[in-house]
Structure 1
Amino acid sequence: MQTSCTAKEQEMEERIARHPCFSEEAHHYFARMHVAVAPACNIQCNYCNRKFDCVNESRPGVVSEVLKPEEAVQKVLVVAGEILQMSVVGIAGPGDPLANPQKTFATFKGVAENAPDLKLCLSTNGLRLPEFVEQIAALEIDHVTITINAVNPAIGSRIYSWIFHQGKKYSGRKAAEILISQQLKGLEYLTKKGILVKVNSVLIPGVNDRHLEEVAAAVRQRGAFMHNIMPLIVAPDTEFSRNGVRNPTSEEIEVIRQKSSASLKVMKHCRQCRADAVGLLGEDRSAEFTKDKVMKMPMKYDQQARKAFQEKLDAKVGKRRNACQLMAEKHAEKLRAHETSAQSSKKTAAVAIRIAATTRGSAKVNLHFGHAKEFLIFDCSDSGIQFVGIRKVQSYCVGKLNCGSNKQPILAETSEVLKDCQILLCSGIGDVPKEYLLKKGIVTYVKSGDIEELLVESRKYYAYMNESQSALV
């Protein structure tokens, strides 16, 4: 049975209602924009190489061009006029925003003065965070993300090559001690100001994978709102790539997130965005808004038009949330009915089914399998629908020129990523991948529409197919 939210929880929901990175509901409808104005960094992580960039690259620290504060403000106004669902402007690099304080705060000030309806968001490694808490609060930047990969200096010394702090370079354990101290101090200062803080942690197999539960407990104790455990992306020409450190598997990520969720709410919909990302989570429209293009585009920023548009989105989010709650209540009622009957509880329909879905956003299944670069993973059972996370893949279709080429390796990789799923939910799929996935035990359900409704529908279809096959045996 659903319990009502407390006043504090309700207030929190309202604060994150339009922030796609802080709200799982909002990420389906509201867009964000990162402006790349902060090129310098004051730490060197063993997984980071900011020099490597291509148009298909999506990971933190990657940008195609760095902007001056005045250019960034103009770009924000142009993009906000074109993408009415854009609700958040963030600075996340490509270096560290607080290692470039003048550029960072000049940009935030310009955006706040010219586009007051946009939420301001800051991502930082936290090394200089305690210095700037007052400025952050004064500019009403009420969403901050700190990347904290360890709270144990011995483990931290394996993640960071060096830091540059107060005019001096440190390495090894001393560097980790200073960085961790500054991060936790900054986190406490922010939360005492009432600022929402999300903590990012990179899951590094063999380094901090068994330590992240401790990180979750430590940051919760200091007031963090959410923990985002992200898979390591081993970039070329980095310390980790040279030492053979691998990316974590989907199973490892899921296990660690589950363990850490005992301490703190865990984010599962992160896309590990570029530092110049534009658009809904899961899409990147930065190529449409390069500096050259933006400087020639008309500025159509209209605060009233944006307000009216986003209020309609609020209604959609509320309607979807109410529908999901009703669905959850129906599932709970059905589950109770099953529990009263030992025979019914053994049916296939009572079992949780793992489903992979493709989407362009708006909480809909509206993307062909061949164009998918990621899958949303859900567990669907009588007790409700649980979002598991995002899994990235290489898209099956890469243009007409490659349509006749051998795509077996791509299918093999995709089927490995989805090996624990029973159903693939998509708006379309070719016969070859459909048959290939079926041989791997993944049934394809092709239909467009609301994700929540189709998850339930496809699960019923799967249960029906299983029961039909059992009757024939």
Structure 2
Amino acid sequence: MSAPLIPISGLAVSNRQEMGKNLAKGGCSSSSCGSSAGPADMDPETWAKVKDHPCYSEEAHHYFARMHVAVSPACNIQCNYCNRKYDCANESRPGVVSERLTPEQAARKVLAVAAEVPQLSVLGIAGPGDAAYDWRKTKATFDLVSQRLPDIKLCLSSNGLALPDHIDEIVAMNIDHVTITINAIDPEIGAQIVPWIFYERKRRTGVEAATILRDRQLQALEMLHERGVLVKVNSVLIPGINDDHLIEVNKAVKARGAFLHNIMPLISDPAHGTHFGLTGQRGPTAAELKKVQDACAGGANLMRHCRQCRADAVGLLGEDRGQDFTLDKLPEEIEDAPEAREAYRAWVAEERKDRQAAAGLAEQAAAAAEAPTLFAVCTRGSGRINLHFGKATEFQIYEADADGISFVGHRRADNYCLGGYGDAERMDEIIKVLDDVPYVLCQMIGNGPRKRLADAGIEAIDSLGEEYIETAIASILQSRRAHRDQAAQGA
């Protein structure tokens, strides 16, 4: 039997959670848009850019939503892991959209989402082709949106080939977040990933294409960094091709000013119709991904909370409400509600203060961990354990060790509960996904799945619902340590 959990004093759930449950109904009078004090190693100007951006701040992804609009279908390169699909609602991966939009349709959709989703803080254009290559549509969309929603941050994603041609416009439009996908800096490796590019009115292949692409990508990174634009570099981890090489990519992009490096697993299901999927190239395991990420520690700062979003994703990271906002579902009349976003951001500012204080105590408690320990967390946001096990479609993975508690990634799995009943095959997959994780933290869990997890050596804990993730983990570690101490004394 598990030892009883020891609560950490002073960490009770705040009444402000009521606003978190009724996001648009809060009545905060503060005009604050978030905590004014960022991390000790980040200057205030940079913190102001990232504190409400869920992709550039791991902390912000607990609170803020993003949306992508699919206005740029044209692309100037072919990647072996990409198959752009339109009119597709069933796949969750980059390059897939339900409907392509004109800039005018996209702006209308953004207004509708902003009116309904007060967590919205970022508008991104990530395809389904390339936002820099299809620049006319990208720019027109941003111009329309910024006129109506000046508080929404703008960002774009690109393969980098056409990006150097638009740096001045990007800066003039106040686009201060750009993502570049760089999978290799060695052209021999790059040629295995990108079979061709279209550059200066000519299709180029092989090492020549990979060399041009690399040079343009690094040029764009340097130019954006020099102009004060934050750059996140995405890299797709492809086992046997660039897994070892990504350490060199990490060093190269850090040297040129990348703010974050996001190493993502290859998605290679044959059903997606990509070259890699059809030729049997496998994706990495969760352990292989973590190994490469850990090997890059000390280089460019790593992003570990990416969800590899669709090109029309809407909502918090880890959720997609895109199908709630298709063109046929948009209201005829759309009125913006900036006061709801202001109230929500004021609530987040206060919530951040609570969580920061709680996390400080938690770090102290966790520092005594005897060995690194992983925890899988069921959460729907706000940095709390607030989701039923059976409804979880992903698990956020945290690690506690002598240095404290840190987020190390997420693992996807289909939700166990379907229409009130558990699915045995899905439970088998969940156990496989969590094979190296000894604890699952959730708001509630039934006796059946609890026993299945226990039989697999995984303890499910649902007595800490609504607690902050870090403080719950610290409480568990304290309890286990106290239990061991009592056992030792009894011996």
Query: Separation in 2 of the partners of 1:133 and 1:353?
Result: 44
Q: How does 1:297-376 map to 2 (within 5 A)?
A: 297-329=332-364, 331-332=366-367, 335=368, 350-376=370-396
Query: Separation in 2 of the partners of 1:331 and 1:240?
Result: 42
Name the SS of the counterpart of 2:204 in structure 1.
Answer: strand
TM-score of the superposed pair, with normalisation by structure 1: 0.90
Q: Residue 475 of structure 2 aligns with which residue?
A: 457
Inter-CA distance 240–90: structure 2 relative to 1 (3 Å threshold): same
Inter-CA distance 389–5: structure 2 relative to 1 (3 Å threshold): closer
Moved more, 214-223 or 422-431: 422-431
Task: Report Cα offsets for 1:335-362 as digits up to 9, x if no partner.
Answer: 4xxxxxxxxxxxxx53332110011111
- Which of residues 259, 274, 287 in structure 2 aligns to 1:238? 274
Moved more, 45-54 or 423-432: 45-54
Task: Report Cα offsets for 1:8-62 as digits up to 9, x if no partner.
Answer: 5343222200000000111001111111111111111101112277534221111
User: Displacement, 1:441?
Assistant: 0.8
Name the SS of the counterpart of 1:419 in structure 2.
Answer: coil
CA contact (8 A) 1:50 1:94 kept: yes
Name the SS of the counterpart of 1:137 in structure 2.
Answer: helix
Moved more, 424-433 or 8-17: 8-17
Q: Residue 54 of structure 2 aligns with which residue?
A: 20
TM-score of the superposed pair, with normalisation by structure 2: 0.87
One-letter code of the match for 1:444? A
Task: Report Cα offsets for 1:305-344 as digits up to 9, x if no partner.
Answer: 4223212212322332233234324555xx4xxxxxxxxx
Q: Residue 443 of structure 2 aligns with which residue?
A: 427
Q: Residue 412 of structure 1 aligns with which residue?
A: 428
CA contact (8 A) 2:378 2:395 kept: yes
Q: Residue 234 of structure 2 aligns with which residue?
A: 200
Query: Separation in 1 of the partners of 2:403 and 2:185?
Result: 36
Number of equivalent positions: 450
Inter-CA distance 101–61: structure 2 relative to 1 (3 Å threshold): same
Q: How does 1:139-178 map to 2 (within 5 A)?
A: 139-178=173-212
- Which of residues 107, 118, 127 in structure 2 aligns to 1:93? 127
Q: Residue 418 of structure 2 aligns with which residue?
A: 398
Task: Report Cα offsets for 1:68-101 as digits up to 9, x if no partner.
Answer: 1011111111111111111100000111111211
One-letter code of the match for 1:243? T
Q: Residue 300 of structure 2 aligns with which residue?
A: 264
One-letter code of the match for 1:313? V
User: Displacement, 1:461?
Assistant: 4.3
One-letter code of the match for 1:299? I
Query: Separation in 2 of the partners of 1:52 and 1:461?
Result: 51
Task: Report Cα offsets for 1:151-174 as digits up to 9, x if no partner.
Answer: 110000000121111211111111
User: Displacement, 1:194?
Assistant: 0.5
Query: Separation in 2 of the partners of 1:368 and 1:469?
Result: 33
CA contact (8 A) 2:87 2:99 kept: no
Inter-CA distance 472–418: structure 2 relative to 1 (3 Å threshold): farther
RMSD of Structure 2 on Structure 1 (CA) = 2.2
One-letter code of the match for 1:369? F
User: Displacement, 1:413?
Assistant: 1.8
Q: Which blocks of at least 5 consecutive residues in structure 2 are unaligned?
A: 1-37
CA contact (8 A) 1:31 1:280 kept: yes
- Which of residues 138, 158, 174 in structure 2 aligns to 1:104? 138
Query: Separation in 2 of the partners of 1:33 and 1:142?
Result: 16
Inter-CA distance 451–101: structure 2 relative to 1 (3 Å threshold): same
CA contact (8 A) 1:82 1:300 kept: no
Task: Report Cα offsets for 1:277-327 as digits up to 9, x if no partner.
Answer: 111111111111111111x25423133442232122123223322332343
Q: Residue 338 of structure 1 aligns with which residue?
A: none
Query: Separation in 2 of the partners of 1:11 and 1:326?
Result: 28
Task: Report Cα offsets for 1:159-204 as digits up to 9, x if no partner.
Answer: 0121111211111111111111110111111011000000000000
Task: Report Cα offsets for 1:105-160 as digits up to 9, x if no partner.
Answer: 00011111111000001111111000011111110000000010001100000001
- Which of residues 291, 309, 314 in structure 2 aligns to 1:278? 314
Query: Separation in 1 of the partners of 2:295 and 2:365?
Result: 28
- Which of residues 370, 384, 389 in structure 1 aligns to 2:409? 389
User: Displacement, 1:241?
Assistant: 1.5
Q: How does 1:117-136 map to 2 (within 5 A)?
A: 117-136=151-170
Query: Separation in 2 of the partners of 1:397 and 1:5?
Result: 39
Q: Which blocks of at least 5 consecutive residues in structure 1 are unaligned?
A: 336-348
Query: Separation in 1 of the partners of 2:275 and 2:374?
Result: 36
One-letter code of the match for 2:313? A
CA contact (8 A) 2:375 2:437 kept: yes
One-letter code of the match for 1:153? P
CA contact (8 A) 1:373 1:394 kept: yes
Inter-CA distance 113–81: structure 2 relative to 1 (3 Å threshold): same
User: Displacement, 1:409?
Assistant: 2.9
Inter-CA distance 424–250: structure 2 relative to 1 (3 Å threshold): same
Name the SS of the counterpart of 2:195 in structure 1.
Answer: strand
Inter-CA distance 8–411: structure 2 relative to 1 (3 Å threshold): closer
Moved more, 86-95 or 56-65: 56-65
Query: Separation in 2 of the partners of 1:270 and 1:165?
Result: 30
One-letter code of the match for 1:366? N
Inter-CA distance 5–434: structure 2 relative to 1 (3 Å threshold): closer
Q: Residue 251 of structure 1 aligns with which residue?
A: 287
CA contact (8 A) 1:25 1:317 kept: no
User: Displacement, 1:368?
Assistant: 1.4
User: Displacement, 1:453?
Assistant: 2.0
Larger fraction in helix: 1
Query: Separation in 1 of the partners of 2:405 and 2:166?
Result: 41
The answer to whether residue 82 in structure 2 is matched with residue 64 in structure 1 is: no
